[in-house]
Structure 1
Amino acid sequence: MKFGVTWLLLLVLSVSSHAAIVNGVRVWPAPDNTRLVFDLDQPAEHTVLVLKNPFRVVLDVKGAQLKTDFSDLDLANTGISRIRSAVRNQNDLRIVLDMSSEMTPRSFALKPNDQYGDRLVLDLERSTLADLGLDSSPQVRQSVSKTLEAVNSLKRDVIVVIDAGHGGEDPGAIGPKKLREKNVVLAMAKELYDQLDALPGYKPIMTRTGDYIVALKKRSDFARQNNADLFISIHADAYRLPSAQGASVFALSNGGSVSAMAKYLADKENASDVIGGINGVSLEDKDDTLKSVLVDLSMTSTLQRSVEVGALVLAEIGRFTKLHGDRRSVGHANFVVLRAPDVPSILVESGFISNPREEANLGSAAYRKKMATAIKNGVVKYFEQTPPDGSYIAWAQQQKNTTKKYTVAKGDTLSGIAARNGVSVNRIIAVNNLSGTSIRIGQVLLIPGA
């Protein structure tokens, strides 16, 4: 009996003294930070310190061994020039990051979940975006003005923030053939960006332009910081039954009843911060200011506008692809990303990536372009119906209402016609889609109001 107890004690000591194995590492560069994620086979204590002259970030992992290679990592745009490792105190693992720019480290451990085992996360935060040669404005990606007229007359663009869901450590849903939601929706978001950017009077901005994670609340905050007229979050559904299919559009629930599927999808999307390793962010928004706004009439107005634009987008999507179930109206669910209290916000589920046929569609550039076009058409219809005050779109609609016709007579010049009507030559050219200033006798021109 004594021998058995001794053997058991030795076994316990052997298991407890087993060194943690670092068996993988991933690097996710973002505009304002770089994230390194180390995969472990068990939890391990760690410390982080900064050394200067030259600037280095040091990660010490207690009682750990390295079973992966750093040489294959792409360190472009990370602020890291080299990663090296060594054994410290004959037992610990030391990982040294040689930095090309000074960054502030922050680290934390993540427990296992459905997709990953134990992880150690090291975030390197930039003091300014200038470290990457990027603009220091809060706009990650913004368009240039499309019309000189709009700039000169200070007629503002309609700002549409486009949010590609998930990213970085959080792949989102994964299809039967391993297609990842984060990649699909980023490609779709970029297509929507390009289409809106080509329209006069629209300024699209993206919450992320690469493969990195953005906290859920930061996405809606980003829309508010940029004075967005509309926030669109793009996703792809997944469900345990592969037969589930169809696209849908959601607005924030105002506390009323929601369908079981809507709650299921919202719960999955709201888990993004946990999977992606956003440390210390609660999925339940406890912002007292927001809670007070939620019961305010302004929030009611925002929700109503969200439903209105969502209905137009949904109708356009339904023109070319199947909608989920009998959903011919905008769904409601408590998506964290839709909680901006004063920005109309919708979430587009572009299809079920868990359905083999729809996974193939989502992997197709042609399908993604059709989806982006449908979203764009719905957005344009909404703002044509309710143009924001002071916007180029509101001005353009006013011009349509005051436009008159003029037949070119002998001796007329475009500059003379413009001067007599108190408008610029450029405005007449724009309204009539002229290629230049040449006109002919008998030609009918549309003359916009002065």
Structure 2
Amino acid sequence: MHPPRPGAAALKRRTALQALGSVVLSLGTAELAFGASLVAVRVWPADEYTRVTLESDTVLSVKHFMADNPRRLVIDIDGLELSPKLRELVGKVHADDPYIAGVRVGQNQPRVVRLVLDLKQATAPQLFTLEPAAAYQHRLVFDLHPVHEADPLLALINEKQSAEQKAAEAVQDALGEFIGRVGKTPTPPATPPGPVAPPVPAPPVIAQKPSPMTQEKIDRLIIVALDPGHGGEDPGAIGPSGLREKDVVLSVAMKLRDKLNAEPGMRAMLTRDADFFVPLHERVRKARRVQADLFVSIHADAFLNPQARGASVFALSQGGATSAAARWMASKENASDIVGGVNFKAKDSTVMRAMLDMSTSAQIKDSMKLGGEVLGQIGKVGRLHKAKVEQAGFAVLKAPDIPSILVETAFISNPEEESKLRDAGYQQELVEALATGIKRYFAKNPPLARTRQL
């Protein structure tokens, strides 16, 4: 017995469904998706700039404009629905954020979400998207930069003068306390009068005026640029137990800054002093803006083999790398911009990248001297991966006029070395070694080349 044949209405519905199926099969992923799904929202506040990142499973399309009274940045995101993940952004902005006063989120139109960032100061926002990289999917990034950039060299000098004034006040307070104690000392009993010996005249004090070269050394402020690698969106290498490279190197760099700042006539500048991302060319630019005498980039990288261990020091190479490992390391570090997220559409990106190709043989020669001094000292703290300074094409070492080295303090991928890097005592040993190497370099190579007197 055959089943009953469908009627005309049923046949019409079946034909319509088949046609719809053909259309659906012809559509791509973008056309099928009703909207993007947010994976994560992140906020990276810092004095230099605040970054907000929206990570999603597909590319987000946005429009934005600035508004006044009150000052705010308005961002409309197409193809996105209001979700609990997006509402998390409101709670991620803290009261001490230098740029964002608050965030408001709403469904402005169907499939269009509006973000409103209430701003604390005039900003020059940059909005851009990033392709999937490392562990990240598609990212929409908006960076809030100040309209007027502060003079870092002036800030460094003011900071030094303030520290010296506080130190002088502390000495005066201690001296006053000592004099007060002396004044309260009981007077000893009087002794019988006797013959008084004539006073012995003190030798005359001859004021000698220092030579111009000596005076220049005295007046000269030595500036060391310290560059803690990675930061913000870029965690760097991650150890077996979860220790992040960006956290370790920031801790070491801040300790080293304090150590160098305690040296007379020396001041250290950090390319980042918190957990935020700094592009490679911007790290170089920061060092040049303060007219740094040295540039030391601090890292704690990982290798494919977890047994790899030991510290290394690298300088720039105008030719090929001195080893396959050095070439691999340079390639990995140079990829930091991709992971951290650089706005390649920014106006100055082409100029800054051209600047990174201005390396000179004189800079490399001085960098090798600096690297040798530092390597000799950190070799006393722990094992060395290589007993000589290696060379490769590290983008962050390409300041044309500043001796620059990159120090791999240890392999964070090695469980034993990761444990050492976590230890504050071991970090302090590294700091002592780095500071000694830097001072030994200056002792043999006095920094007399800067034209601007501080």
With the shorter chain as reference, the TM-score category is: 0.7 to 0.9
- 1:122, 1:378 → 2: CA distance? 40
Match of 1:72 in 2: 91
Distance 1:232 1:81, change over 3 A: same
Aligned residues: 379
- 1:153, 1:119 → 2: CA distance? 50
Match of 1:93 in 2: 113
Give the one of 291, 308, 321 matched to 1:227: 291
246-255 or 212-221, which moves further after superposition?
212-221
Q: Which amino acid aligns with 2:236?
A: G
- 2:245, 2:392 → 1: CA distance? 20
- 2:345, 2:279 → 1: CA distance? 8
The 8 Å contact of residues 140 and 207 in structure 1, kept in 2 or not, is answered as no
- 2:244, 2:294 → 1: CA distance? 26
Distance 1:158 1:264, change over 3 A: same
- 1:153, 1:380 → 2: CA distance? 14
Deviation per residue, 1:406-429 (Å, 9 max, x gap): xxxxxxxxxxxxxxxxxxxxxxxx
Q: Tell whether 2:135 aligns with 1:118.
A: no
Match of 2:361 in 1: 300
Distance 1:166 1:107, change over 3 A: same
Deviation at 1:355, TM superposition (A): 1.2
Distance 1:371 1:64, change over 3 A: same
Deviation at 1:163, TM superposition (A): 0.7
Q: Within 5 Å, give how 1:337-356 maps onto structure 2.
A: 337-356=396-415
- 1:365, 1:74 → 2: CA distance? 30
The 8 Å contact of residues 315 and 404 in structure 2, kept in 1 or not, is answered as yes
Give the one of 35, 38, 48 matched to 2:64: 48
Q: Which amino acid aligns with 1:237?
A: D
- 1:156, 1:364 → 2: CA distance? 36
Distance 1:239 1:311, change over 3 A: same
- 2:93, 2:109 → 1: CA distance? 30
Deviation per residue, 1:274-330 (Å, 9 max, x gap): 111111189999866665x54xxxx22221111111111111111110111xx1110
- SS of 1:144's equivalent in the other structure is helix
Question: In percent, how many aligned pairs have the same letter?
Answer: 38
Give the TM-score normalised by structure 1: 0.78
Q: What are the ranges of 5 or more consecutive residues in structure 1 without an aligned counterpart?
A: 130-134, 392-450
Distance 1:370 1:136, change over 3 A: same
Q: Tell whether 2:326 aligns with 1:262.
A: yes
The 8 Å contact of residues 244 and 352 in structure 1, kept in 2 or not, is answered as yes
Give the one of 160, 163, 180 matched to 2:244: 180
Q: Determine which structure has more spread, i.e. the larger CA radius of gyration.
A: 2
Distance 1:141 1:166, change over 3 A: farther
- 2:365, 2:353 → 1: CA distance? 22
Deviation at 1:335, TM superposition (A): 0.5
- 2:327, 2:47 → 1: CA distance? 32
Q: Tell whether 2:122 aligns with 1:106.
A: no
Distance 1:259 1:204, change over 3 A: same
The 8 Å contact of residues 23 and 67 in structure 1, kept in 2 or not, is answered as no
Deviation at 1:189, TM superposition (A): 0.3
- SS of 2:306's equivalent in the other structure is coil
- 1:26, 1:274 → 2: CA distance? 17
- 1:30, 1:261 → 2: CA distance? 34
Deviation per residue, 1:131-169 (Å, 9 max, x gap): xxxx64456766525598999996112111111111111
Match of 2:54 in 1: 38
Q: Tell whether 2:448 aligns with 1:389.
A: yes
164-173 or 76-85, which moves further after superposition?
76-85
Q: Within 5 Å, give how 1:350-429 maps onto structure 2.
A: 350-389=409-448
Deviation at 1:389, TM superposition (A): 3.1
The 8 Å contact of residues 24 and 67 in structure 1, kept in 2 or not, is answered as no
Q: Which amino acid aligns with 2:104?
A: R
- 2:34, 2:384 → 1: CA distance? 53
Q: Which amino acid aligns with 1:221?
A: R
Deviation at 1:7, TM superposition (A): 2.2
- 2:353, 2:233 → 1: CA distance? 26
- 1:138, 1:264 → 2: CA distance? 35
- SS of 2:37's equivalent in the other structure is strand
**Please, what is the CA RMSD of the aligned residues?**
2.8
The 8 Å contact of residues 152 and 289 in structure 2, kept in 1 or not, is answered as no
- SS of 1:228's equivalent in the other structure is coil
Give the TM-score normalised by structure 2: 0.77
